[in-house]
Amino acid sequence: MATTALPHTETTAPAAPTGIWSWITTTDHKRIGVLYGVTAFIFFLIGGLEALLIRLQLGSPNNTLVSAQVYNQLFTMHGTTMVFLAIMPLSAAFFNFVIPLQIGARDVAFPRLNAFSYWVFLLGGLFINFSFIAGPLFGAGHLSVAPNAGWFGYANLTSDQFSPGPNIDFWVIGLQILGIASLAAGFNFITTIINLRAPGMKFMRMPVFTWMSFVTQFLIITAFPVITVGLVFLLLDRVFGATFYNVSAGGDVLLWQHLFWMFGHPEVYILILPAMGIVSEVLPTFSRKPLFGYAVVVYSGILIGIVGWGVWAHHMFATGLGPIADSVFSASTMLIAIPTGVKIFNWIATMWGGRLEFKTAMLFAIGFVAMFIIGGLSGVMHAAPPADLQQTDTYFVVAHFHYVLFGGAVLGLFAGMYYWWPKVFGRRLREGLGKTHFWLMMIGLNLTFFPMHFSGLLGMPRRIYTYGAGLGLDTFNLISTVGAVVTGLALLVFVYNIWASRNNHDTSANPWEAATLEWSIPSPPPVYNFAVVPTVHNRLPLWTADGMTPSSQPAVPPAPVHVPGGSHWPLLTAIGILIMGVGALMHHHFLPSLVTVLAGLAVAVFSIYSWAFEPFEV
């Protein structure tokens, strides 16, 4: 592409462009990271609000705060939002901001594709949440057409026969749109990590966060095609009357469960591995010790990724797969606890004998380890089919996966936020408020989820909107509800902390005296990241006597740095995809639906061609 002179910005110290248009057309991985973070955090608050409503409804027996119909939409959207719109994109915010800095790159391999991923995610998230207020468009009330068959959408609850409304259409089309964003980001980050490492940054010198993210991207690009196929079948069943999940035509509803969990279990690791990576950065920094057993942590992460592909049917023990399948999947599930346990011992050994500094980020990282152990232990209990049969579809399972996803992934993500906040914004979150946030959250989450072990073992089923009095469930549920309110308060403290820290400037390059490359450049980083692309000689470049120091980066680049300009085509391509989704949603009206889908396709194809032929040099 460099054979003809193409217009591009070339300057010794490019200033960051300003204005809304510069954000809409941005291809800067740091800005895209911030966009991901802000958007995902708002979705996280929405998902949290849904959880709070669920807990308020269940706070007392025979409660009538919300109807059964609204309750179904709340728990479905809570799960869908937290998995696809909150935790995954919050991880993506860290992938975007941190990975290029950690490997010494000036951007990702495909900056426009990166912007495209973000816009598709944003529009897909808006599309699926629009269902809450879309009722009147379909001749129904508000809060009536949101997805309502659970985040797992089991066939044939989702069939046209049993869910004739647009609820499931919103879900199936929305997830298809979101899948495009994840896949595009997956190709992008794998290529970035393989191909844009600074000189000397060998694979086994990469920071553990980058390593765990690398494994995560492989899980994304292999798991998402599988759910795409499952969702396409569902859409074809609903729109064209295909027979994939149609029992009367000989179809098997378990096909959906297999396709869903073949995606769904790798998805669990897609959610947790980035948080494990974050914790593996935070613990050494605040223990003033290198990570214990770096290579073993990395190999364990890879092993989790591989074995994570062979455990999906443990979600399906109750369907009666037979003794052989049960045994195999039980064994593989127990096996995967080994690399996970290895990591936990490595984290503990990292802290052992270290000079521990209990900053908020460190507290969240330690909280992650503690809570993840509890969730991991109950996970091993599910690995035994006879125990699992007792626990399936009870609150015991809800307790388990919230300990790993809230106690694990969310605490890990908060550790990352406190840790990298000064690098991203040049401001520090206040420690006092941060510690209040941490302790409130620890108390809140344990109050919420620990009693669920008991209500679950007492037989309280999941996904029911109320329960009778005098079944021994009242107290446990009340405690859970109180815990949910405390957790909500903790989040408010965090939001207040963001506001209260707006003038808490700290633009030092390395406020935590950490070891990895992102701390060698100014905070916030300049648009070109590294004035001089660093040469890496070891795994902890800022912690070695002969290593580099933050001052080894000149304030002004000695040679001109090329910075790619922005592009609006990624956004327009995403809009084209959204229009196609809206068209598919209208499938009960054949002609308008077809016209809309074709119009969206035209916008998308036109934008892709404009994108391919616009002058843009990475």
252 counts as binding other proteins under rule CB under 8 A: yes
181 counts as binding other proteins under rule CB under 8 A: no
322 counts as binding other proteins under rule CB under 8 A: no
State which of residues 55, 197, 402, 539 lies at the interface with other proteins (CB under 8 A): 197
Q: Least separation, in Å, of the C-beta of 118 and other proteins?
A: 17
What are the Cα distances from residue 468, in Å, to 153, 393, 459, 474? 27, 18, 13, 9
Say how many Å lie between the first and final Cα of the chain, rounded.
10
155 counts as binding other proteins under rule CB under 8 A: no
Q: Least separation, in Å, of the C-beta of 548 and other proteins?
A: 19
Report the residue number, 231 or 486, with the smaller CB distance to other proteins: 231
State which of residues 136, 141, 164, 225 lies at the interface with other proteins (CB under 8 A): 225
State which of residues 130, 152, 154, 187 lies at the interface with other proteins (CB under 8 A): 187
Selected range binding other proteins among 12-20, 85-93, 242-250, 334-342, rule: CB under 8 A: 242-250
242 counts as binding other proteins under rule CB under 8 A: yes
State which of residues 110, 171, 406, 616 lies at the interface with other proteins (CB under 8 A): 110
Concatenating the DSSP letter of every residue in 180-247 gives HHHHHHHHHHHHHHHH-PPTT--GGGS-HHHHHHHHHHHHHHHHHHHHHHHHHHHHHHHHH---TT-G
Selected range binding other proteins among 70-78, 227-235, 294-302, 384-392, rule: CB under 8 A: 227-235
- DSSP character for 479? H
The closest alpha carbon to 83, from 238, 266, 302, belongs to 266
CA 399 – CA 405 distance, rounded (Å): 10
Report the residue number, 42 or 605, with the smaller CB distance to other proteins: 605
Q: Least separation, in Å, of the C-beta of 529 and other proteins?
A: 15
469 counts as binding other proteins under rule CB under 8 A: no
Helix count (H) and strand count (E) of the chain? 18, 2
- Scan for tokens 């660093």, then name that residue: 534
Concatenating the DSSP letter of every residue in 454-472 gives HHHHTTPBTT-S---TTSS
The closest alpha carbon to 516, from 298, 96, 215, 206, belongs to 206
If you count them, how many residues does the chain have?
A: 618
Cis geometry, peptide bond prior to residue 510 (ω within 30 degrees of 0): no
Beta bridge partners of 427: 505
Q: Least separation, in Å, of the C-beta of 100 and other proteins?
A: 13
State which of residues 196, 272, 273, 278 lies at the interface with other proteins (CB under 8 A): 196
109 counts as binding other proteins under rule CB under 8 A: yes
CA 38 – CA 42 distance, rounded (Å): 6
Report the residue number, 19 or 250, with the smaller CB distance to other proteins: 250
CA 41 – CA 421 distance, rounded (Å): 14
State which of residues 136, 141, 164, 241 lies at the interface with other proteins (CB under 8 A): 241
255 counts as binding other proteins under rule CB under 8 A: yes
10 counts as binding other proteins under rule CB under 8 A: no
- DSSP character for 315? G
Report the residue number, 230 or 526, with the smaller CB distance to other proteins: 230
Q: Least separation, in Å, of the C-beta of 431 and other proteins?
A: 38
232 counts as binding other proteins under rule CB under 8 A: yes
Q: What angle do CA 127, 581, 135 make, to 5 degrees?
A: 50
Concatenating the DSSP letter of every residue in 8-71 gives -EEESSPPPP-SHHHHHT---HHHHHHHHHHHHHHHHHHHHHHHHHHHHHHTSTT--SS-HHHH
Report the residue number, 202 or 505, with the smaller CB distance to other proteins: 202
Report the residue number, 194 or 389, with the smaller CB distance to other proteins: 194
The closest alpha carbon to 593, from 242, 127, 239, belongs to 239
Interface positions, 549-608, toward other proteins (CB under 8 A): none
CA 492 – CA 507 distance, rounded (Å): 26
188 counts as binding other proteins under rule CB under 8 A: yes
Size of the site for other proteins (CB under 8 A): 45
Q: Least separation, in Å, of the C-beta of 411 and other proteins?
A: 31
Report the residue number, 153 or 416, with the smaller CB distance to other proteins: 153
Q: Least separation, in Å, of the C-beta of 315 and other proteins?
A: 17
Selected range binding other proteins among 219-227, 325-333, 366-374, 586-594, rule: CB under 8 A: 219-227
**In the stretch 258-297, what mask flags binding to other proteins with x, by CB under 8 A?**
-x--x-----------------------------------
Selected range binding other proteins among 239-247, 281-289, 482-490, 592-600, rule: CB under 8 A: 239-247
Tokens encoding 418: 């406190």
Report the residue number, 249 or 602, with the smaller CB distance to other proteins: 249
Tokens encoding 56: 């308020």
Report the residue number, 205 or 423, with the smaller CB distance to other proteins: 205
What are the Cα distances from residue 206, in Å, to 63, 196, 272? 53, 12, 19
530 counts as binding other proteins under rule CB under 8 A: no
From the CB of residue 202, how many other CB atoms can be counted at a distance below 10 Å? 10
**Chain positions contacting other proteins, by CB under 8 A:** 1-3, 109-110, 183, 186-188, 190-192, 194-197, 201, 221-226, 228-230, 232-233, 236, 240-244, 248-252, 255, 259, 262, 609, 617-618
